[in-house]
Amino acid sequence: MTSLSDLPLRENLVGLRPYGAPQDPVPVSLNVNENTHPIPEHVAIDIVQSLARAVTGVNRYPDREFMELREALAGYLGHGLEANQIWAANGSNEVLQQVLQAFGGPGRSLLSFTPTYSMYPLLASGTDTSWIAVERPADYALTPEAVVEALKEYRPDIVILCGPNNPTGTPLERDVIEAAYDAFDGILIVDEAYHEFDAERESAVTLLPGRPRLLVSRTMSKAFAFAGVRLGYLAADPAVIDALRLVRLPYHVSALTQAAATAAVRHADSMLATVADIRAQRDRLAAALAELGYVVHPSGSNFLLVGGFADPDATFEALRAQGILIRNLSIPGHLRITAGTESETSTVIEAIRALGPGGARS
Ligand code: PMP
């Protein structure tokens, strides 16, 4: 077998490691911020019926423009959005990749504020876009002043603001988005993958009118409990959608994905019915860990970044040995934990309590 170093790999991919959150079949899996509740049975039945109808037509390519799904997503987002302002792909990862293919590339740059979602630099390398990481302050919260200063200094072509931010959970303030948009001439993406968990805050889609360089990305993978289907989407000016059409592969959203996602959006209320409970579990987890002496960062999402672990690697492994998977992101002293069902949350709280002050040590 040949090894990777024997191949004529593109230079900017040499030495990189693929995105690799562990995928262990453990009883309590709280490491990739999924909604751990199964989808409601009546919705599953309706989706299966929609899939059955779609399957009979799969000898033909699907609707390349997936208009029915785009109309459904526009209706779900509301605020007068129309289908020609909506785009979708196989997860918001693919949506973001298409944005970088269209607006990034050699000689162009992508800037974001770290720690943030680990796929952004990988999407940059994959599209030969240079990656600019600007560190967040100690409390991880962005201010208009700090963001404007960074954009004026680095003059990036693309900026991603993740709100709530993964992996810190930090909410994103509206005045930061407005200031960022005005501070440079490039493409501003607001990644709202976790927006439904922070729904008191107005979505950045309300900032779209008059801002043709603003793109708001969303996903059905988190609150919508639909990670396995792979459906992410974006709202922007119709001209942006025209740009993405230049780089997408034809028929990239399969007939089955279109059918399943359109049916799921029809049942948005039922699909999102677990959000209140997940938020309650997040708050219960936060209170319990704070009481145990850990530092819990404020979160507007379905996960918590928790500091105060004496040895995060040892705690990660100790929990994994008990069938509990959380996320070790190499942030000193920190681990990230997704809020699960009531019983999953109780299990993780009790397991961390049993490890004693500061967690496990190797
Ligand atoms: N953005 C953020 C901030 C995320 O955390 C994730 C998934 N972890 C994604 C985008 C991508 O999600 P998906 O491709 O499943 O839509």
* Tens place of pLDDT per residue across the chain (362 aa): 888 889 999 988 888 888 777 788 899 999 999 999 999 999 999 999 999 999 999 999 999 999 999 999 999 999 999 999 999 999 999 999 999 999 999 999 999 999 999 999 999 999 999 999 999 999 999 999 999 999 999 999 999 999 999 999 999 999 999 999 999 999 999 999 999 999 889 999 999 999 999 999 999 999 999 999 999 999 999 999 999 999 999 999 999 999 999 999 999 999 999 999 999 999 999 999 999 999 999 999 999 999 999 999 999 999 999 999 999 998 999 999 999 999 999 999 999 999 999 999 98
Residue 7 alpha carbon to ligand 1 centre in Å: 30
Tokens of 138: 């100690």
Task: Choose among 221, 213, 238, 198: nearest CA to 92.
Answer: 221
Tokens of 250: 């034809």
Lookup result for tokens 């990988």 = 122
Q: Does residue 193 have its Cβ closer than 6 Å to ligand 1?
A: yes
Cα separation, 309 vs 234, whole angstroms = 37
Please enumerate, as own/partner, the contacts of 346-353 that have beta carbons within 8 Å and a separation of 24 or more.
347/28, 348/28, 348/30, 348/285, 348/319, 348/324, 349/284, 349/285, 349/288, 349/289, 351/318, 351/319, 351/322, 351/324, 352/289, 352/292, 352/294, 352/315, 352/319, 353/288, 353/292
Residue-wise DSSP of 120-169: HHHHHHHTT-EEEEEE--TT----HHHHHHHHHHH--SEEEEESSPTTT-
Q: Does residue 167 have its Cβ closer than 6 Å to ligand 1?
A: no
Q: Does residue 227 have its Cβ closer than 6 Å to ligand 1?
A: yes
Give nearest CA residue, ligand 1 atom 12: 92
Residue 52 alpha carbon to ligand 1 centre in Å: 28
Q: Does residue 221 have its Cβ closer than 6 Å to ligand 1?
A: yes
Q: Does residue 273 have its Cβ closer than 6 Å to ligand 1?
A: no
Residue 93 alpha carbon to ligand 1 centre in Å: 6
Q: What type of residue sits at position 210?
A: G
Residue 125 alpha carbon to ligand 1 centre in Å: 17
Q: State whether residue 79 is helix, strand or coil.
A: coil
Residue-wise DSSP of 245-273: HHHSPTT-S-HHHHHHHHHHHHTHHHHTT
Q: Does residue 197 have its Cβ closer than 6 Å to ligand 1?
A: no
Residue 92 alpha carbon to ligand 1 centre in Å: 6
What is the number of other CB atoms lying within 10 angstroms of the CB of residue 353? 13
Give nearest CA residue, ligand 1 atom 1: 193
Q: Does residue 191 have its Cβ closer than 6 Å to ligand 1?
A: yes
Residues 6 or more apart in contact with residue 230 via CB below 8 angstroms: 90, 91, 94, 221, 257
Task: Choose among 62, 30, 213, 194: nearest CA to 117.
Answer: 194
Residue 187 alpha carbon to ligand 1 centre in Å: 19
17, 26, 184, 219 from 8: Cα distances, Å: 16, 38, 37, 35
pLDDT tens for residues 312-340?
999 999 999 999 999 999 899 999 999 99
265 CA to centre of own chain: 18
pTM comes to: 0.97
Q: Does residue 165 have its Cβ closer than 6 Å to ligand 1?
A: no
Tokens of 69: 């799904």
Residue 243 alpha carbon to ligand 1 centre in Å: 22
Give the burial class of 265: count Cβ atoms within 10 A of its Cβ; 0-12 exposed, 13-18 middle, 19 or more buried. Answer: buried
Lookup result for tokens 């968990």 = 197
Q: Which domains does the chain have, with CATH numbers?
A: 22-37+274-359 (3.90.1150.10), 41-269 (3.40.640.10)
Q: Which atom of ligand 1 is nearest to the CA of 222?
A: 15
